[in-house]
Chain A
Amino acid sequence: MNELIEKLKLQLIEQLNLEEIEPDEIEATEPLFGDGLGLDSIDALEIIVLLEKEYGLKIDKPEDGKDIMYSVETLAKFITENSAK
């Protein structure tokens, strides 16, 4: 899980053009949106694209998106739990 979290941090930095942020500056449990990294709705769409392109995963229920994309940790959990299916 920790390895996946570190990989996700790098992928988020690249996909979302967070050029001024180092992986170590992203806390795995901190919110990605709002007060945390300050991501916006377009970033949310990019994360959905990242999940599909890199992990072949789709968020079936839009209402689950908020919880899945809450933090790097919740994203990693979603990938771990759904990749094996």
Chain B
Amino acid sequence: MNKLYINRHIKIKNNSVFIDGKKDFFNEEENLLAFLKSTYKNYGIKYAKFFKMDALSKLGFLASELALIDNNKDLLPEQTALIFANSSSSLNTDFKYQKTINDVPSPSVFVYTLPNIVIGEICIRNMFRGETMFFVQDNFDAKFMCNYTKNIFENTDTKQTLLAWIEVSENNEYHVDMYLVSEDKSEIELNEINIKNKFEL
């Protein structure tokens, strides 16, 4: 099969947004949701539904918006895949929902009590209808994620993939690494080592 390349890399961690390894935005907000809102405002994104999302979806949504900037590929909706993973699943929101059960359960919190909802949000925003998968792993398994992505390209009509680790713990600790992958040649080939190197930056 043709080689795959990382065309763009977004990291959101420690109150900072990194694009292709360079710090692009920083805000010292201690509150995660306040930091996410400041990031949304900083990049001039206009999407009212953002404010209804939980922290996991907001993180994934913001990373996808930045990963897909200038992405003018003329692809069919079925040709973009999203392959995500994390270790806490939707635990951050699960606990928030659990607290509302004692009173009147909140429907808008309940709808985010699955980790793959973030995939749905990104697909709705971009009208993607390709392959999707959300894995729950102890730690970021670069080899597995890399092989799975290659397999998707090999066995489906996929032309680009958002491969990502999107983690929000129960205690609001967060870490996003999102890679835009396609056959378009770049300096960084998609392989376990390159993904790991970027992840550990």
Contacts and interface: CB of A to CB of B under 8 A. Distances in A.
B51 A46 contact: no
B51 A19 contact: yes
Nearest to A43: B108
B51 A45 contact: no
A57 to B, nearest CB: 12
Interface in B76-122: 103-108, 111
Q: How large is the interface on A (under 10, 10 to 19, 20 to 34, 35 or more residues)?
A: 10 to 19
Contacts of A18: 48, 51
B52 interface: yes
A83 interface: no
Contacts of B52: 16-17, 42
A18 B51 CA distance: 7
Contacts of A17: 51-52, 108
Contacts of A42: 52, 107-108, 111
A73 B171 CA distance: 41
Contact of B104 (A16, A20, A53): A53
Interface of A: 16-21, 38, 42-43, 45-46, 49, 52-53
9 contacts: A16-B52, A16-B108, A17-B108, A19-B37, A20-B48, A42-B107, A43-B108, A46-B107, A53-B104
Interface of B: 37, 48, 51-52, 103-108, 111
